[in-house]
Amino acid sequence: MIRVGRPRRTVPEQTTNEAKTSFLTPVSSMRTFWGLMRAYWFSDRWKEAWTLTLVIALLTALSSKAGVWFAMALGELGNSIAFLHDAANTHPLQTILTNAGILVLLVVLKDAGFTGVRNLVSTTLHRKWRGWLDSQFNQALLDGNHTHFHAQHGSAAGGIVAPDNIDQRIQESIKDMTGGAIGLAMGVLGVATSLYFVGENLIGASVEVKGLEFLGSYGTAVLAFLAVATYVPLNTWIAVKLGRLLERLNVRMQQAEGSYRAELTTFLRRSFHVAASHGEGVQKSMHDRLYVDIDKTWGRLNVVNTSYTSFELIYNFIGARIVAYGPGLVSFFHNRLDYKGYITGSEMVAQLISQCSWFIHVMPAIATLRANSQRVTELANAIENVQQPQEFYRQTGRSDFIYGSQNPVFGLTIQKLELAHQGEDATPFLSAANLRFRRGEWTFLKGESGSGKTSLIKAINGLWPYGRGTIVFPEGVTSFYAAQEVKLQQVSLKQLVCLPGSENDHSDMQVAAALHKAGLGDFIGHLPDESRGGKIWDQVLSGGQKQKLVVARIILQQPGLLFLDEATGALDPEGKIAFHEAIKANCADVTVISVMHEAVPPRSLSGEEFYHSVVAINDGVATKKPLAPTLPRELTTILAQPRPAEDKWLRFRRLKQK
């Protein structure tokens, strides 16, 4: 009986035609700005997050209170200087030095104490939050659904755009976003605490203003609040306009930088091919074209940043030296406010303007934060969109694959399979009415280059997006997809051999035995090493050794269903025979489906066939038939040799006939 459903890890991670179901991912709650911002604080690490946050809030409040003390101390110092020559001042120098010392101590307490420790705690929160987000996105991308693979597929025509530069989004965007968000949050806390502490002191020290007697003793406080309420919002509006432009340019700059870096990375990986084809000139023109985009965007960004910096400097001067000193000036002129009270009150107003201007000061950071968060939420949405791959691909084409399982006795079955490219009306380029692969059968895929051999294997394994058909796997049988090599860096040799499992799944002895059987016994002593001679394994191993590594992985994993996708391309004829013999000798009853460049499959040294059947692809149709029996190599060689006696007899018969 065939059972249809969402397959386990041992078979392709695809969904069936069942009713649409929601699959939660580690980033499901991070698809909006606020969802992304609060996810860490409501995660399993909430105690860590809230503890660090509360410590930052406490230190911010203490810093704001220290700011009030600083303003009062500055007023005392200014007053002692102003009355330096007053007859009533019996110890003028001592008073000045004492007030100056208190001011310095307050600066140290505020900046090196409260603010400095807060910086340490905030950077710790930054590190923890970023690390948590990084782990969540890596877990979501590298799941059994092959999300990292599906998320890179999209179509502008279909309205689905694949996220560009995923590496940049995870590394730079998350880092900058978390740092920016923490800085802005501390700014908001600073405003709130300053409004409380500074406002309390302004009201307490307020005096009557001539002409505004109806306000009573709250005159100077009301004027101060009105000055702040008028000056700050007006300039904030200007900052918002400039900030939106900064945001757009920041997003464009990230895209341009990411595209250039991605091309550099790709170029370095294909460096040999560029050198072999003398393609340096073309490659250079490509780099130049990509950098032009960076340069133009950077130039515009510099102009806007410079304009914003000039605006901010002028704003700060007017706010701290004119607006802040205006509200108390009338009362000071009419001798209702002494010099000490005037200086203290003005400094508090300046501090209040500074704290309430956090939005203006951090507008570039807000623009960067919004740009970074947009990049991250786009990636979260892309991850969520591909959790049901077939539903995702149906938006840009036909994707009606059904994956099921059956009794392993019946092997692997493929029915009514059609493979196509993107587009609802795309004509299938490959079809297979009925293919059955019994247990222990070795099948060779044969066809011209581009006929769809690899596409067929991809479709069986759930890695081809468009088409339809039914693929039924033997239940409980582990499948293994072997390509030419696995390009993984900074991993140990043991980890490479243990793929797709963990290095903890197998003992060193088991891994060593697999390497020995694959012909890589010389490397057994380097199992825990991530490199050899300063080079990673991808650089140490030759092409043939990499494919022997594939054999070691197969022997170690003992799959029941094995797909070989040109896995012997870098081996010589003797190496290909050894490759197959190692699998034959160590993997009993394995079902093999293989794609190779050769027109005929290899045979053993004794002339026996490794393969039992062949799937031939002709004119877009795949058909399966038994492999034609052939004579042993030795007998074929003998029969192919010329036989002199026979040749003489044939010549005599021809002459007689003439």
Residue 9 has pLDDT above 70, yes or no: no
How would residue 487 be classed by pLDDT, with cut points 50, 70 and 90?
A: low
Residue 497 has pLDDT above 50, yes or no: yes
Let me know whether 180 and 250 are in one domain. no
Please name every residue paired with 531 in a beta bridge, in sequence order, or none if there are none: 536
Task: Tell me what pLDDT residue 159 has.
Answer: 62
Which residues lie below 8 Å from residue 188, measured CB to CB, with a gap of 6+? 358
Residue 85 has pLDDT above 50, yes or no: yes
Let me know whether 540 and 619 are in one domain. yes
Give me 319's structure tokens.
């706010």
For the chain, give percent helix, strand, coil, nearest 5. 60, 10, 30
Q: What is the three-class DSSP state of 190?
A: helix
Give me 76's structure tokens.
């005392």
What's the one-letter identity of residue 55? V
How would residue 484 be classed by pLDDT, with cut points 50, 70 and 90?
A: low
How would residue 576 be classed by pLDDT, with cut points 50, 70 and 90?
A: confident
Neighbours of 465 (CB within 10 A): 24
Closest C-alpha to 518, from 489, 559, 556: 556
Let me know whether 157 and 52 are in one domain. yes
Q: What is the three-class DSSP state of 565?
A: strand
What's the one-letter identity of residue 332? F
Residue 283 has pLDDT above 80, yes or no: yes
Task: Tell me what pLDDT residue 542 has.
Answer: 83
Let me know whether 409 and 554 are in one domain. yes
Domain holding 288, by residue range, is 208-336
Closest C-alpha to 343, from 325, 321, 326: 325
Which residues lie below 8 Å from residue 414, measured CB to CB, with a gap of 6+? 432, 434, 435, 436, 460, 469, 470, 471, 472
Which residue would you say has higher pLDDT here, 336 or 6? 336
Neighbours of 211 (CB within 10 A): 10
What stretches of 386-489 show up as alpha helix (H) in DSSP? 389-393, 453-460
* Residue 559 lies inside a defined structural domain of this protein: yes
Neighbours of 79 (CB within 10 A): 19
Residue 10 has pLDDT above 70, yes or no: no
Which residue would you say has higher pLDDT here, 611 or 350? 611
Task: Tell me what pLDDT residue 645 has.
Answer: 44
- Terminus-to-terminus CA distance in the chain, angstroms? 70
Q: Can you tell me the distance from the alpha carbon of 24 to that of 34, in angstroms, rounded to the nearest whole number?
A: 18
Give pLDDT tens digits for 639-648: 344 444 444 4
Contact 377, 141 (CB under 8 A): no
Q: Can you tell me the distance from the alpha carbon of 412 to that of 473, in angstroms, rounded to the nearest whole number?
A: 5
Residue 201 has pLDDT above 80, yes or no: no
Give pLDDT tens digits for 293-340: 999 999 998 998 888 888 888 888 888 888 888 888 878 887 888 877
How would residue 48 be classed by pLDDT, with cut points 50, 70 and 90?
A: very high
Of 298-307, 341-350, 604-613, the one with minimum mean pLDDT is 341-350
* Residue 638 lies inside a defined structural domain of this protein: no
Mean pLDDT, residues 525-545: 83
* Residue 656 lies inside a defined structural domain of this protein: no
Please name every residue paired with 594 in a beta bridge, in sequence order, or none if there are none: 444, 564
Task: Tell me what pLDDT residue 516 has.
Answer: 92
Task: Tell me what pLDDT residue 394 has.
Answer: 86
Mean pLDDT, residues 424-453: 90
Q: Can you tell me the distance from the alpha carbon of 61 to that of 75, in angstroms, rounded to the nearest whole number?
A: 22
* Residue 114 DSSP symbol: I
* Residue 502 lies inside a defined structural domain of this protein: yes
Let me know whether 390 and 482 are in one domain. no
Q: Is the pTM of this model over 0.75?
A: no
Let me know whether 129 and 85 are in one domain. yes
Let me know whether 156 and 220 are in one domain. no
Give pLDDT tens digits for 156-189: 555 667 888 788 888 888 888 888 888 888 878 8
Give me 30's structure tokens.
């991070």
Mean pLDDT, residues 82-100: 77
Task: Tell me what pLDDT residue 359 has.
Answer: 65
Residue 463 has pLDDT above 50, yes or no: yes
Give me 372's structure tokens.
């970074």
Q: Can you tell me the distance from the alpha carbon of 329 to that of 211, in angstroms, rounded to the nearest whole number?
A: 13
Let me know whether 470 and 617 are in one domain. yes
Mark which of 354, 376, 396 sits at the end of a domain. Answer: 396
Of 24-28, 402-406, 476-480, 648-652, the one with minimum mean pLDDT is 648-652
Mean pLDDT, residues 619-635: 72
CA triple 590-596-600, angle to 5 deg = 95
Domains of the chain: total: 3
Give me 278's structure tokens.
């003398």
Task: Tell me what pLDDT residue 14 has.
Answer: 40
Q: Which of 346-355, 430-439, 545-554, 598-607 has maximum average pLDDT?
A: 430-439
Task: Tell me what pLDDT residue 251 has.
Answer: 82
Mean pLDDT, residues 30-34: 92
Mean pLDDT, residues 234-241: 80
Task: Tell me what pLDDT residue 640 has.
Answer: 42
Q: Can you tell me the distance from the alpha carbon of 607 to that of 638, in angstroms, rounded to the nearest whole number?
A: 13
Task: Tell me what pLDDT residue 28 has.
Answer: 92
Share of the chain above pLDDT 70, in %: 88
Task: Tell me what pLDDT residue 156 has.
Answer: 55
Let me know whether 272 and 159 are in one domain. no
Which residues lie below 8 Å from residue 42, measured CB to CB, with a gap of 6+? 29
User: What is the bridge-based pairing of β-strands 561-565 and 621-626?
Assistant: unpaired
Task: Tell me what pLDDT residue 563 has.
Answer: 93
Let me know whether 370 and 433 are in one domain. no
Which residue would you say has higher pLDDT here, 593 or 223? 593
How would residue 12 be classed by pLDDT, with cut points 50, 70 and 90?
A: very low
Cα–Cα distances in angstroms (integers) from residue 59 to residues 185, 307, 600, in the given order: 13, 34, 76
* Residue 170 lies inside a defined structural domain of this protein: yes
CA atoms within 13 A on the CB side of 162: 14
* Residue 235 lies inside a defined structural domain of this protein: yes
Mean pLDDT of the chain: 82
Q: Which of 14-28, 472-486, 573-587 has maximum average pLDDT?
A: 573-587
Closest C-alpha to 571, from 593, 594, 597, 592: 597
Residue count of the chain: 658
* Residue 345 lies inside a defined structural domain of this protein: no
* Residue 224 lies inside a defined structural domain of this protein: yes
Q: What is the three-class DSSP state of 8?
A: coil
Let me know whether 137 and 222 are in one domain. no
CA atoms within 13 A on the CB side of 575: 17
| Cβ contacts of 150-153, under 8 Å, gap ≥ 24 | 150/386, 150/389, 150/392, 150/465, 151/379, 151/382, 151/383, 151/385, 151/386, 153/386, 153/393, 153/465
Helices (H) and strands (E) in the chain, counts: 23, 13
Q: Can you tell me the distance from the alpha carbon of 103 to that of 316, in angstroms, rounded to the nearest whole number?
A: 23
Task: Tell me what pLDDT residue 486 has.
Answer: 57
Q: Can you tell me the distance from the alpha carbon of 58 to that of 189, in angstroms, rounded to the nearest whole number?
A: 10
Give pLDDT tens digits for 382-411: 999 888 888 888 888 888 999 999 998 889
* Residue 214 DSSP symbol: G
Which residue would you say has higher pLDDT here, 582 or 538? 582
Let me know whether 438 and 572 are in one domain. yes
Q: What is the CATH number of the domain that holds 579?
A: 3.40.50.300
Mean pLDDT, residues 527-543: 82
SS (HEC) of 299-368: HHHHHHHHHHHHHHHHHHHHHHHHHCCCCCHHHHHCCCCCHHHHHHHHHHHHHHHHHHCHHHHCHHHHHH
Task: Tell me what pLDDT residue 54 has.
Answer: 95
